[in-house]
Amino acid sequence: MLNRRNILAAFAAAVLGFQGFTMTALPAAAQDVVNASLRLKWLTQAQFAGFYVALEKGYYKEEGINLTINPGGPNLLTENLVATGADTFGLSGGTDSVFAARDKGMPIVCIGVAHQVTPFVFVSHKDGPVQTVADFKGKKITTWFTGANHVLSAMLSKVGIDPKDADIQPQQVSVTPFVDKQVDVVTATRYNELYVINQRVGKDNLNLFVPEDSGVSFPRDTLIVSEQTAAEKPELVEKFLRASVKGWKDAFANEKEAIDIIMKIAPTLDRAQQEFMLSEVKTLMTAGKASTDGLFTIDKDAVGSANDLLAQYGVISKPVDLDEAFNSSFIDKIPAGERRL
Amino acid sequence: MTAFMQTDSARQISRGIAGALLVAAVWEICARGLNLPAYILPSVTSILAGMVGDLASLLEAARFTATESFAGYAIGCLIGMAAAILVTMIPSARSIVLPLATAINSVPVVAYSPLVLLWFGIGMASKIVMVAVAVSFTIFLSTIAGLDRVDRKSVDLIRSFGAGRLAVLWRLRLPTALPLIIAGMRVSTVRSVIVAIVTEMLGAYGGLGWVIYQAVLQIDFVKVWAAIIVASAISLAFFGAISFVERRYVFWSKA
Amino acid sequence: MSGSIAYAANLSVTPAGRIYAAVKPILWLAVGLFAVEVLVMAFEIRPYYLPRPSAIASGIMATPGAYLAGLWRTFLETALGFLAGSVFGVVMAVVFHRWLALKELFFPLFIVSQTIPVIAFGAVVVLWFGNTLFAKAVISFYISFLPVTVNTLLGFSSVDPRQVQLMRSFGARDGQILRRLYLPAALPQLFVALKLASSLALVGAIVGEWFGDTTGLGVLLLQAMYNENVVGIWATIVVSACLGMGLYSLVSFAERKIVFWGGEQ
């Protein structure tokens, strides 16, 4: 065990050391500045605006953290990179990936949940054959086989439909088959695919099926650190959260400025789409328990329901120990008043 | 001659296996000795155990991927050779076809995948198209290089006997080009399998790429490697089959 | 210099003919693009299936800086990976040719190595090589070396053993035989492989940029793909195609300079 730690630490040191090397020179006064990195779950976009705002405005620096934000990509598991120490912090897939990682023995801990409710919905055409969840039976549905399929199964089971009775297919990157009505029901994140569908089909021509309406919740976009960081550098975790919360509050208070910061980094993005994304992300991040307790609250009930769902469908071998996987102690150090919008 | 070839290939196969065992041993020692977690490098033995456990589903996925690769490979070979012959027969077409083919091939197959998935659907057809595109370029380049390789004196000689363009092609150019064509075909075998897998990862109903994609998301790296080993076995068998054909029928390449 | 004169003499064309030869592909390209533009408008093909070439062009012109920066970054990664892959490919061919036992032990593993989908191991790549340009070049290298090895070996095998005997009888050493006999004999095949490797190296660099980066054609592509920005996808495709053609032309140019027995032209 010690051996393995050492190897991983060596790997991490090599990687972090290199990053440190490429970093620009720091002001001489900032001697106790700590280098750290945040790995996102995807490329730079408004979904992560708060972190970029905090970086741009120097909130991490104020807390003594010299933060690098590393974008993610397909098949790039944030859990993996955080567990090995290649990145200090991670904004990972969501409760689903945290559970899968814990189930496989990865030493990571969730320190905050961004999207309080399921960020995706199921969408059908208003003039099509699907008007209620009960209509899903026998219809062609596309979804992501990465957790969303289990949410769908649970929703179907609640209305007495055997998921096998629906024609559930893997969803490709494009929603065009749905727009062309080759598919009856499509899965869409509120902040990305739904925008594209709205643009092409028209917002008023769509039925949305929200998992929460069927009593299923699947919070996503989780902040994670390694167990080692959580145990050895609790103050670093706390400072990171404090700066991040500040960045997010600014982003929501001044959306135009936040989008400007994002567009500066990724100029080929569609501004209108990014504006839509930020306003949807705001809804997701301030929903549920976060409306009272503030940003990044860990709602143990919602998280627990996702845990049971994944265990029920055999994605994880057994329910994960919630208190070990989700550690509220860091985010709770920041008073709810400071975290509320 | 055949007896010699048999002992020759027997030695090659046994050495190939020895090489694989050697690497497997080093791998196992690294994985176990350094106590690396599965998400960095799972041990060979755990991968083999995983393969045995998932054998039925892996074989089904392998059948899927192999079908796509072979079909795309065959189509790609035909297109590549036909285009190369066309360009050689009609030299004025070269300055258009060659840059166009290069341009198409310069874009990574993954870039086309959203378009190909859109045009050909998420089933096998889209993978076959992608494999055919990737393979045809390799074959095209190899065939052109091969067809161009004949020396002018031979062409002049056979022309002086009254042979037309077709006869020059059939009697002279193709036999001269064969070794290079087959070398291109050999390299393409591996590429056809990997392109099928990568396309499956972006959207599919089944296949090894789909298994890998799912397994990565579920952080099941033993399964990822199990699928990769099955894919490697397909590639190797495919490569071996083409090499065998090459040695059997293109013996004049060594002369 | 004498090479280019010889080349021109070989082709024995007038300067005007040469200019026409250089302009012809561009002319055809313009005609082709115009035809696509007309077809898309005439049949009202929806932009999700095929956007108009003019829309793609204005997409690039809207943020030229981003595409230029991406082009440059991806070019650097590709060039590094391609050079490393070519050198490694040739060296491995020499080693495998010299020591048959090594070839038989490890060549199958070279083939196997190409079956590993790099995109499944993004985390491992980042872990080992960090978030650097170097990491992308490594992937580019990894994807491009095999054709070089295969074709160089094929080229070596076309050498007449009697010539080797002859050189040896004159007291030539292994290094001399390699330089004077084997490498020149392998050049035509080697260049076929290098052309292939240049496109493969580009593919490798682009895929490498999918492992968390902010600049590069791969990043632009990924962004466009998942935002369903079809014009963006095509814009990136066009830019990568230009880069790929540029690299290919460079290799072809080198080939013409170095291998001047082109057969019947």
Looking at domain A120-214, its CATH architecture is: 3-Layer(aba) Sandwich (3.40)
Distance CA A11, CA C129 (A): 10
Phi and psi angles of residue A33, each rounded to the nearest 5 degrees, phi first: -75, 135
Taking contacts as CB-CB distances below 8 angstroms, the residues of chain C near B104 are 241
Residues of A with CB below 8 A from B219's CB? 77, 79-80, 97, 100-101, 103-104, 106
**Contact status of A81 with chain C (Cβ, < 8 Å):** yes
* pLDDT tens track for B133-142: 989 988 998 8
Characterize the bridge pairing of strands A120-125 and A185-189: antiparallel
Q: Which of A5, A73, A97, A94 is nearest to A299 (CA)?
A: A94
Closest alpha carbon within chain A to B216: A75
Contact: B183, C244; criterion CB under 8 Å: no
Equal CATH topology for A36-117+219-339 and A120-214: yes
* DSSP assignments along chain C, one per residue: -HHHHHHHHHHT--HHHHHHHHHHHHHHHHHHHHHHHHHHHHTT--TTT---HHHHHHHHHHSHHHHHHHHHHHHHHHHHHHHHHHHHHHHHHHHHHH-HHHHHHHHHHHHHHTTS-GGGGHHHHHHHHTTSHHHHHHHHHHHHHHHHHHHHHHHHHTS-HHHHHHHHHTT--HHHHIIIIIHHHHHHHHHHHHHHHHHHHHHHHHHHTTSS-SSSHHHHHHHHHHTT-HHHHHHHHHHHHHHHHHHHHHHHHHHHHH-------
Q: Between C53-62 and C230-258, two packed helices, what is the crossing angle to 10 degrees?
A: 90
CA distance A240 to A244: 6
Instruction: Provide the shortest C-alpha distance from residue B224 to chain A (in Å).
Output: 12
Q: Per-residue pLDDT for B169 more than 90?
A: no
Of the residues C13, C45, C112, the best mutation for testing chain B's interface (the one with the most B CB atoms within 10 Å of its CB) is C112
Q: What is the end-to-end Cα distance of chain A in Å, rounded?
A: 44
Cross-chain residue pair C117–B40, CB shorter than 8 Å: no
**Can you tell me whether residue B35 is helix, strand or coil?**
coil
Residue B6 pLDDT: 56
Contact present, B68 and B122 (Cβ < 8 Å): no
Give the type of residue at A147: G
| Contact between chains at C157 and B150 (C-beta distance less than 8 A) | no
Chain C residues whose CB is inside 8 A of the A192 CB are: 226-227
Pair C243, C74: CB distance under 8 Å? yes
Q: Do residue A75 and residue B216 have CB atoms under 8 angstroms apart?
A: yes
Delimit the domains of chain A by residue range.
36-117+219-339, 120-214
ipTM score for this prediction = 0.80
Chain B residue nearest residue A102, CA to CA: B219
Which pLDDT belongs to residue A246?
A: 96
DSSP class per residue in A171-191: --S--HHHHTTSSSEEEEETT
Residues 6+ apart with CB under 8 A from B228: B208, B212, C115, C116, C117, C120
Residues in B closer than 8 angstroms to C240, CB to CB, are 106-108, 111
Those residues whose C-beta lies under 8 Å from the C-beta of residue A98, and which sit 6 or more positions away, are: A79, A92, A108, A110, A222, A224, A325, A326
**Is the model's pLDDT at C9 over the cut of 50?**
no
Question: How many residue pairs from chains B and C have C-beta atoms closer than 8 A?
Answer: 171
Contacts of B148 (CB under 8 A, 6+ apart): B88, C262, C263, C264, C265
Nearest Cα residue to C168 out of C155, C154, C180, C152:
C180
CA distance C69 to C60: 12
pLDDT surpassing 90 at residue B246: no
Backbone phi and psi for residue A69, each to the nearest 5 degrees, phi listed first? -100, 120
3-state secondary structure of A285: helix
Mean pLDDT of chain C: 85
Residue B255, pLDDT score? 36
DSSP reduced 3-state for B146:
helix
The whole-model pTM stands at 0.84
Measure the CA–CA gap between C53 and C66, rounded to whole angstroms. Answer: 19
Chains with ≥3 Cβ pairs under 8 A against B?
A, C
Compute the C-alpha angle C126/C135/B192, nearest 5°: 95
Angle at C193 between CA C189 and CA C199, to 5 degrees: 155
Residues of chain A with Cβ-Cβ distance to B36 below 8 Å are 4, 7
Give C227→chain A minimum CA distance, Å. Answer: 7
SS3 A89: strand
Which of A118-127, A297-306, B158-167, B199-208 has the lowest average pLDDT? Answer: B158-167
Q: Which residues of A touch B115 (CB under 8 A)?
A: none
A113: left (phi over 0), alpha (psi -120 to 50) or beta: beta
**CA-based nearest residue to B118, from A144, A203, A182, A122:** A182
Q: How far is C263 from chain B (nearest CA, A)?
A: 5
Question: What are the structure tokens assigned to C118, written together?
Answer: 């790099």
Pairwise CB contact (< 8 Å): B35 & A7: yes
The chain B residues in contact with chain A (CB within 8 A) are: 34-40, 114, 117-118, 122, 201-205, 210, 213-214, 216-220
- Do A43 and C215 contact (CB within 8 A), yes or no? no
Please choose, from the candidates A171, C124, C119, A194, the residue with its C-alpha nearest in 3D space to the C-alpha of residue B114. Answer: A171
Q: What is the pLDDT of residues A26-81, one digit of tens each?
A: 444 445 789 999 999 999 999 999 999 999 999 999 999 999 999 998 878 899 89
Work out the average pLDDT over A142-165.
88
Q: How many Å separate Cα B180 from the centre of its chain?
A: 15
Q: Whole-angstrom Cα distance, residue A136 to residue A156?
A: 8
- Helices B109-120 + B174-202 axis angle, to 10: 70
Cβ within 8 Å, pair B145-C109: no
* Nearest beta carbon to residue C117 from set B145, B148, B198: B198
Smallest Cβ–Cβ distance between C122 and the set A73, A174, A269 belongs to: A73
CA distance C95 to C100: 8
**Residues A7/B36, Cβ–Cβ less than 8 Å:** yes
Task: Identify the band that residue A291 occupies on the pLDDT scale cut at 50, 70 and 90.
Answer: very high
Q: Name the minimum distance, in Å, from the CA of A92 to any CA of chain B.
A: 12
Among B21, A158, B177, which Cα is nearest to C154's?
B177
Q: In what order do the strands lie in the sheet with A220-226?
A: A65-70, A34-39, A89-94, A220-226, A108-115
Most confident of A20-24, A29-33, A326-330: A326-330
User: How close is the nearest chain A Cα to the Cα of B239, in Å?
Assistant: 28
Give how far B35 is from chain A: nearest CA, Å.
5
- Chain A residues closer than 8 Å to B201 by CB: 75
pLDDT on residue C114: 84
CA distances from A39 to A139, A277, C163 (A): 38, 20, 59
> Percent of chain B scored above 90 by pLDDT?
31
Is C104 within 8 Å of B19 when comparing Cβ atoms?
Answer: yes
Question: Where are the domains positioned within chain B?
Answer: 1-35, 60-254
Any C CB within 8 A of A327 CB: no
Q: Are C132 and A22 an interchain contact pair (Cβ–Cβ within 8 Å)?
A: yes
Contact at CB, B142 and C241, closer than 8 angstroms: no
Helix then strand then coil, in percent of chain A rounded to 5, is 50, 15, 35
Please check whether residue C196 touches B, CB under 8 A. yes
CA-to-CA dists, residue B242 to A32, B3, B175, B238, B247, angstroms: 62, 20, 17, 6, 9
Contact B243, C157 (CB under 8 A): no
- Which of A70, A174, A175 is opposite residue C131, by nearest beta carbon? A70
Return the closest-CA partner of residue B200 out of B228, B233, B220.
B228
Q: What are the residues whose beta carbons fall under 8 Å from the beta carbon of B26, sequence distance 6 or more? A: none
Of A18, A75, A269, the CB nearest to C120: A75
Percent of residues, chain A, with pLDDT higher than 70: 91
Write out pLDDT tens, residues C51-79.
888 889 998 998 899 999 999 999 999 99
Q: Kindly report, residue by residue over A195-218, the tens digit of the pLDDT.
A: 999 999 999 999 999 999 998 888
Q: How many CB atoms lie within 10 A of CB A190?
A: 22
Position A44 scores a pLDDT of 93
Q: Specify the CATH number of the domain B60-254.
A: 1.10.3720.10
Q: State residue C11's pLDDT score.
A: 46
Q: Regarding the domain delimited by A36-117+219-339, which CATH topology (the fold level of the hierarchy) does it fall under?
A: D-Maltodextrin-Binding Protein; domain 2 (3.40.190)
Q: Does residue A269 sit at the C interface (CB-CB below 8 Å)?
A: yes
DSSP bridge partners of B113: none
C229 touches chain A (CB under 8 A): yes
